Amino acid sequence: MKKTILYLLLFSIFFQAKAQITLQECQAKAQQNYPLVKQYGLIEQAKNYDISNAAKGNLPQISLSAKASYQSAVTEVPVIIPGINIKGPDKDQYQISAEISQNIWDGGVIRDRKKIAKAKSEADFQQNRVDMYVLNDRINEMYFGILLLDEQLTQNRLYQEELNRHLQQITAYVQYGIANQSDIDAVEVNRLDASQKQTELETTRYAYIQMLSAFTGKKIEYNTRFISPEMPRNILLNEINRPELDLFDAENRLLESQKKSILSKNLPKLGLFIQGGYGNPGLNMLKNGFDTYYIAGIRLNWNFGNLYTQKNEKKIIETNKKTIDVQRETFLFNTRLKITQGNSEVEKYRKLAEDDDEIIRLRTRIRKAAEAKVANGTLSVTEFLREVTAEDQAKQAKAVHKTQLLMAIYNLKYTTNL
């Protein structure tokens, strides 16, 4: 029996734990579930492929060529030796050859290609971080929207309970001749309005939960309890730690890597080679017929054509770096404006929240006085219901301001990423 009770208690605790969720959980699950998260793995794979391809430049390179040609004249010996007939090569010639070359020094081209691959991968990674970070803002909107609806639903339920209590009182007043049927009808109208408002709030809350379930990839039940985040101690935030700044830095490093590669591709290249072939004629042009041959040696290549564009290529990169600097300044300028606006929003809702308790206290006192007047027959039920509604609106305003203050703070945290 004790074990059964223990199991039931553990099951109850487990069920309660499953029936609640936090903002941090929603953000984490959305980051894991969003399709763009797969991009991280693809970026890493692309980087490894690029580095591997660059490294293969140090492997022996094999090339195969073949040709057949006909020429109008061939090499002839301009000396006639009696008794000796020196026949020149045929005008139709054939050749097939294979060459193996090995890089010794390429001026740093392969090294720079690897650096560019890493820098590009880092820039792509940071871009993906920026795209994923935006997801937090969308989760915040839905989560705090649900919290706001929960507060409104709570106040609506209390309001309906208050109306039910007043309905009983006014029904009793009718028996004593203090009120009439129209007064009961007035309360009933308010009850129906409150019921319709509840339906609207519940429908909107259900839609928000459905969207949040889609983003997180987790089935969230309607009766799930959404835990309100803690109120941060430091409200005024002015520093900026957004992933966009890391993206600008990564893009600058990529451009710097590309700039260094300009020099390496303009340096001479040194390598070994061996070439073997079969053709008519072979290396001996005076031997008419098919023959095999080979050539081995060291080769130096230096393409001066790239020097013509080197200066402009560097200028293009410098221009791109300046463009990134302008984008950074623009981003910081706009973000600082949002921070200023966000701090103002926080202060506004904080001050509104400070006055809410006093407003509710006064509205409650007015409503009680009006209730006493109705009992004495000196105030109509219609006027009394206005005071009841005013008190309810004051309570709803407090609940809304509380959630709006929390939402403004977390919007500011999103803007700064602190």
Closest CA to 400 of 333, 352, 338, 337: 352
Instruction: For residues 293 and 226, state if they share a domain.
Output: no
Helix axes 307-376, 109-175, angle to 10 degrees: 10
**Alpha carbons within 13 A on the beta-carbon side of 195:** 8
Handedness of CA 216, 219, 223, 224 (dihedral sign): negative
User: Over 60: is that where the pLDDT of 390 sits?
Assistant: yes
Residue 81's pLDDT is 65
| 212 exposure class (CB count in 10 Å sphere: 0-12, 13-18, 19+) | buried
Torsion angles phi and psi, residue 237, rounded to 5: -115, 130
Model confidence over 21-63: pLDDT tens digits?
999 999 999 999 988 888 889 888 988 988 888 888 888 999 9
Residue 232's pLDDT is 73
Instruction: For residues 354 and 395, state if they share a domain.
Output: yes
Residue 133's pLDDT is 93
DSSP per-residue codes, 241-302: --HHHHHHHHHHHHHHHHHHHHHHHTS-EEEEEEEEEEEES-S-TTS-S-EEEEEEEEEEE-
Lowest mean pLDDT among 140-154, 215-229, 233-247, 256-270: 233-247
Instruction: For residues 276 and 340, state if they share a domain.
Output: no
Residue 78's pLDDT is 66
Instruction: For residues 216 and 347, state if they share a domain.
Output: yes
User: Over 60: is that where the pLDDT of 11 sits?
Assistant: no
- Assess if residue 80 is contained within a domain: no
Q: Are strands 61-70 and 269-280 parallel, antiparallel or unpaired?
A: unpaired
- The radius of gyration of the chain's CA atoms, rounded to the nearest angstrom, is 41
Boundaries of domain holding 370:
21-59+106-267+302-416
Q: Which long-range contacts (CB under 8 A, 24 or more apart) does 326-335 make?
A: 327/248, 328/245, 328/248, 331/242, 331/244, 331/245, 331/248, 332/240, 335/240, 335/242, 335/415, 335/416
Domain boundary among 301, 321, 352: 301
Residue 2's pLDDT is 43
**Residues 125, 139: Cα–Cα separation, whole Å:** 22
- Assess if residue 210 is contained within a domain: yes
Model confidence over 300-324: pLDDT tens digits?
988 887 788 888 989 999 999 999 9
What's the residue count for the chain?
418
Instruction: For residues 278 and 307, state if they share a domain.
Output: no
Instruction: Answer whether 249's CB lies under 8 Å from 127's CB.
Output: no
Would you place residue 235 in the very low, low, confident or very high pLDDT band (cuts 50, 70, 90)? low
Lowest mean pLDDT among 15-29, 89-103, 351-365: 15-29
Instruction: Answer whether 166's CB lies under 8 Å from 186's CB.
Output: no
- Assess if residue 28 is contained within a domain: yes
Instruction: For residues 197 and 217, state if they share a domain.
Output: yes
Identify the CATH number of the domain in which residue 399 sits.
1.20.1600.10
Instruction: For residues 381 and 407, state if they share a domain.
Output: yes
**Residues 397, 360: Cα–Cα separation, whole Å:** 9
Percent of the chain with pLDDT over 90: 38
Which of the two residues, 235 and 53, has the higher pLDDT score? 53
Rounded mean pLDDT, 203-209? 94
User: Over 50: is that where the pLDDT of 17 sits?
Assistant: no
Instruction: For residues 185 and 292, state if they share a domain.
Output: no
Q: For residue 85, what is the DSSP state?
A: -
- Assess if residue 5 is contained within a domain: no
Percent of the chain with pLDDT over 70: 91
Rounded mean pLDDT, 113-134? 93
CA distances from 134 to 30, 139, 164 (A): 11, 9, 46
**pTM confidence score:** 0.80
Lowest mean pLDDT among 74-83, 116-125, 238-247, 304-313: 74-83
How many structural domains is the chain composed of? Answer: 2
- Assess if residue 181 is contained within a domain: yes
* CB neighbours of residue 379 within 10 Å: 16
User: Over 90: is that where the pLDDT of 325 sits?
Assistant: yes
Instruction: For residues 147 and 294, state if they share a domain.
Output: no
Q: Residues near 108 by Cβ (< 8 Å), separated by ≥ 6? A: 263, 264, 267
User: Over 80: is that where the pLDDT of 13 sits?
Assistant: no
- Assess if residue 15 is contained within a domain: no
Residue 297's pLDDT is 92
Instruction: For residues 345 and 366, state if they share a domain.
Output: yes
Which of the two residues, 418 and 267, has the higher pLDDT score? 267
Residue 318's pLDDT is 93
- Assess if residue 78 is contained within a domain: no
**Residues 90, 73: Cα–Cα separation, whole Å:** 9
Instruction: For residues 149 and 232, state if they share a domain.
Output: yes
Structure tokens at 291: 């023959």
Structure tokens at 284: 């001996």
Domain boundary among 250, 281, 301: 301
- Assess if residue 79 is contained within a domain: no
Residue 15's pLDDT is 45
List, in sequence order, every residue forming a beta bridge with 300; answer none if it has no partner.
Answer: 270
Average pLDDT, the chain: 86
Instruction: For residues 145 and 286, state if they share a domain.
Output: no
Model confidence over 397-411: pLDDT tens digits?
888 888 889 999 999
Instruction: Answer whether 218's CB lies under 8 Å from 177's CB.
Output: no
User: Over 90: is that where the pLDDT of 210 sits?
Assistant: yes
